[in-house]
């Protein structure tokens, strides 16, 4: 049995159009790690047929943010990204990718997560990113404009 921690991933009806488009599915999340996957296809590629780097950066942001948010949820907080540094290591034309995120640092006010995106077949690392997040109080969604 897997636990997505309630994160609205690509399979969730609560997910935004953007999250659904990125394709990230959370398979398991704990307070210090996250495991997931995405099936990348023609909707994720550049005009040259390779997966767009923005897809990888979005997956880094989503995976690190979901893990960090899960870690502080019991404190009535959310984690918001303040810096995303994603390196694109090898080109890919798509297919299933595995996503692995791990907390490198978890403090009272900030967290740092490392995210690795690998081709499922063969395990080749395609991209790697670090996401720094700020832990902030959970906003009152009833009072949030646009909700």
CATH number of 17-135: 3.10.129.10
pLDDT of residue 143: 57
Q: What pLDDT score does 82 carry?
A: 98
pLDDT band of 14, cuts 50, 70, 90 = confident
At 24-81, the pLDDT tens digits run 999 999 999 999 999 999 999 999 999 999 999 999 999 999 999 999 999 999 999 9
What CA–CA distance (Å, rounded) separates 135 from 142?
20
Question: Domain coordinates of the chain in residue numbers?
Answer: 17-135
Neighbour order of strands in the sheet with 110-119? 25-29, 33-40, 95-106, 110-119, 125-137, 77-88
Does this model's pTM top 0.85? My answer is yes
Residues 97-139 have pLDDT tens digits of: 999 999 999 999 999 999 999 999 999 999 999 999 999 999 9
Cβ-based neighbours of 123, under 8 Å, separated by 6 or more: 98
Q: What are the phi and psi torsion angles at 93 (to 5°)?
A: -95, 0
Q: How confident is the model at residue 18 (pLDDT cuts 50, 70, 90)?
A: confident
Confidence of residue 3 (pLDDT cuts 50, 70, 90): low
Tell the residue number behind the tokens 């720094």, with chain if given. Answer: 132
């Amino acid at each position: 049995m897997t636990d997505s921690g309630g994160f609205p991933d690509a399979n969730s009806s609560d997910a935004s159009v953007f999250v659904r488009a990125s394709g990230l599915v959370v398979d398991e999340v704990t307070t210090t790690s996250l495991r997931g996957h995405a099936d990348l296809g023609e909707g994720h590629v550049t005009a040259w047929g390779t997966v767009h780097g923005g897809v990888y950066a979005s997956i880094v942001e989503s995976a690190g943010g979901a893990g960090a948010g899960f870690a502080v949820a019991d404190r009535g907080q959310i984690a918001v990204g303040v810096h995303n540094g994603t390196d694109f290591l090898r080109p890919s034309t798509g297919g299933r990718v595995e996503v692995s995120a791990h907390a490198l640092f978890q403090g009272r006010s900030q967290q740092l997560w490392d995210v690795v995106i690998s081709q499922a077949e063969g395990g080749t690392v395609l991209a790697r990113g670090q996401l720094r997040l700020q832990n902030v109080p959970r906003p009152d969604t009833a009072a949030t404009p646009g909700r």
